[in-house]
Structure 1
Amino acid sequence: MTGLELLAVALGMRHGVDPDHLTAIDGLSRVRPSPLNGILFALGHGGIVTLLAFPAAALLQRVNLEALHLPTLLLLLVAGLNLYRLLRPEERTPGRLPLLHPLLLGLLFGLGFETASQLSVLALSAQLSPLRLGLFFTLGMLLVDGVDGFLASRLQNLARDSRRAKRASRLLGWVVVAVALLLALAELGGVDLGAIAFPLGLGLFLLLVSLRLYALRPA
């Protein structure tokens, strides 16, 4: 890979650690556990970024999609469903809602949130072909979001038979609700959380890894 392609991968990994990504994937995994959640989310999101890198998509970039607050509404939906499951664990949550498909979630997040890492990779479109740019950027996201989705899904599966894993799952659920509400309210209130986005996302990822290790320990 060239230096620019490595940079695209690095930006994809950085983008994959954004707290809105991890919150959506972890929250989705508590409603409909699947090891493919993170992979499908990254593919959907990467597909949109690839599309936006084409000059013909300039018109789409001019549309004020942020005014629709699509990712914000989806974060509120994820928070609401996880809160419902936390308060009523004995009842089945509606995990088959079309909006909760990880591929569609990734598409909508790619259209709605313009983060620094996403804008940075689009700036490379003048030096890399859109397809190569999208491929390497998506690869970076897959490395992070794919692992996150796998770990979150495995934790939920362990929670079916292990009290330790069930406690870990509930803690993750409360963290997902809190972070999703924080991000959604900040977006609606016009508060820029860019300065804390990376440490918040990295902390959420490390928490998931820690909870997974905790769940695997013998009682």
Structure 2
Amino acid sequence: MFAEVRAKATGLDRGSVIAVITITLLHLIGWGGLLLLVVPSGVNLGDTAGGLATLGVGLTAYALGMRHAFDADHIAAIDNTTRRFVDRGRPTSAIGFWFSLGHSTIVFALCVVLTVGISAAGSALRDDGSSWMVATGMWGPTVSGVFLLVIAAVNVRSLVVRRRADSDSAAAASGGMMWRLLGSFDRVVDRPWRMYVVGLLFGFGFDTATEIGLLALAGAASLSHVPWWAVLTLPVLFAAGMSLLDTTQGAVMRRAYAWSPDGPDALRRRSRAQTYSIAMTGLSVVVAVVIGGVELAEVATTAFGWGGPVAWLGALDIDDLGLWLTGLLLATWAVVFVKTRRESPSAV
């Protein structure tokens, strides 16, 4: 009871509290372990001796985690799932957190494997042509591509159902087999914590430069006979950086999607806000389809040797698309928000 009162007073739900506590602990463990244990002990995580070099490696791991949070598939998955949860009135504050936690679990587990000295794993990771790297390189894009296309279809379904409901409540319940299948998927990922499984599946594909960079740091430190507890500060720092920005991304997009103007003349401005919401959803769907299509085209080109338009699509570079997508979505929300504030200073 007291927890509920406290949550209402602070505006935080249980998911938000768990996210804040976990992210804080990751930062305390990662940076505390590095600064209070690793550096004073004289352990060298880098190629050169000295505390500054070790600190630099820690900063690199943290920065890699933050950069990984802006990967296009992360942004699209969190954004589209947040849109769906907002539309259904479900809690959204911890979507990005659970996704990043699942993703970080795989990265941490593999760093543990490297740390305990399983040489076969280290050799497989260093060889881009190894069966392990080829398999995971196909698994990651396949999982994320399929998920993004399905979640985009679910959001399209929501828009269509909403339009039908506005005109005919009976028609809103109708739909073919594909509609019912999408509704079934909608019930599978219906809580923020279930995004942990999605992040876990995304994490099995070691196909990004940030993940490979972190594993290279951990692998190099392990080969230098660095103590296990020192090496494991790196994936913790990676998880701290990624979870911080993934959680922030989800919270910001929740604010953008759930925003509704109040005050005088609110009805007209809410109608405009509804149009804005539909436009934002449409933009998110398009981006999810593009990213998912590029990833699946890349898999088809690699696995089946497809050429032509499929090969061209699979060769597109989407590494920086996540940054552009975040900026575009926030800019769209900011323009509408500022315009509404100018029309009525009392608008929220």
TM-score when normalising by structure 1: 0.85
What is the root-mean-square deviation of aligned Cα atoms in Å? 2.8
Residue identity opposite 2:195 in structure 1? P
Q: 1 CA distance for matches of 2:208 and 2:190?
A: 22
Are 2:48 and 1:15 equivalent residues in the alignment? Answer: no
**Shift of residue 215 of structure 1?**
4.8
Kindly indicate whether the alpha-carbon contact (under 8 Å) linking 1:35 and 1:154 is maintained by their aligned counterparts in 2. no
Kindly indicate whether the alpha-carbon contact (under 8 Å) linking 1:27 and 1:78 is maintained by their aligned counterparts in 2. yes
**Shift of residue 164 of structure 1?**
4.1
Q: 2 CA distance for matches of 1:88 and 1:13?
A: 37
**Shift of residue 186 of structure 1?**
1.6
Residue identity opposite 1:197 in structure 2? D
Residue identity opposite 1:166 in structure 2? Q
Relative to structure 1, is the Cα distance of residues 51 and 193 closer, same or farther in structure 2, using a 3 angstrom cutoff? farther
Q: 1:173 aligns with which of 281, 290, 303?
A: 281
Q: Identical aligned pairs, as a percentage?
A: 32
TM-score when normalising by structure 2: 0.56
Q: Tell me which residue corresponds to 2:328.
A: 207
Q: 2 CA distance for matches of 1:160 and 1:75?
A: 30
Deviations 1:171-191 (A, max 9, x none): 221122212211222222221
Q: 2:217 aligns with which of 108, 111, 124?
A: 124
Relative to structure 1, is the Cα distance of residues 84 and 8 closer, same or farther in structure 2, using a 3 angstrom cutoff? same
Q: 1 CA distance for matches of 2:93 and 2:70?
A: 17
**Shift of residue 74 of structure 1?**
0.7
Output aligned runs, 1:24-63, within 5 Å: 24-33=77-86, 34-55=92-113, 58=121, 62=132
Residue identity opposite 1:88 in structure 2? V
Range with greater deviation from structure 2 (8-17 or 166-175): 166-175
Unaligned runs of 5+ in 2: 1-30, 32-54, 87-91, 126-131, 166-171, 174-181, 223-229, 263-269, 299-313, 344-348
**Shift of residue 27 of structure 1?**
0.2
Kindly indicate whether the alpha-carbon contact (under 8 Å) linking 2:65 and 2:240 is maintained by their aligned counterparts in 1. yes
Residue identity opposite 1:181 in structure 2? V
How many residue pairs match? The answer is 217
Q: 1 CA distance for matches of 2:198 and 2:261?
A: 26
